[in-house]
Amino acid sequence: MKKIAIPLILIAAIGLTGCGSTTGQRAGSGALMGAAGGALIGSLSANAGAGALIGAGAGALGGYLYDQHQKGNID
């Protein structure tokens, strides 16, 4: 079950990373969703705090990169 849940959570988080219309909104929504997903994944390994921090960072970066791609700054 754990081997299936982690990829599904990551796919869902990546799909929702770009919510918002401004750079700040997209990075913020990515950070929140990443933190939630990271905490969930981290709780499976008994370290929800570290998972939330890693997920928040990855989500914020993903939201920012998505925003820059939508603006045409990144191919």
Whether 49 is covered by a domain: the verdict is yes
Q: 47 CB contacts (<8 Å, ≥6 apart)?
A: none
Whether 16 is covered by a domain: the verdict is no
pTM score of the predicted model? 0.65
- What would you report as the CA-atom Rg of the chain, rounded to the nearest whole angstrom? 13
Q: Residue 75 is which amino acid?
A: D
Between 1 and 23, where is the model more confident? 23
DSSP 15-71: HHTT-SSSHHHHHHHHHHHHHHHHHHHHHHTT-HHHHHHHHHHHHHHHHHHHHHHHT
Whether 10 is covered by a domain: the verdict is no
How large is the average pLDDT for residues 52-64? 85
pLDDT for 14-55, tens place per residue?
665 556 777 787 788 878 888 888 887 788 777 888 888 888
Q: Where in the sequence is the domain holding 64, given as residue range(s)?
A: 22-70
> For residue 3, what pLDDT is reported?
62
Whether 56 is covered by a domain: the verdict is yes
- Number of domains the chain contains: 1
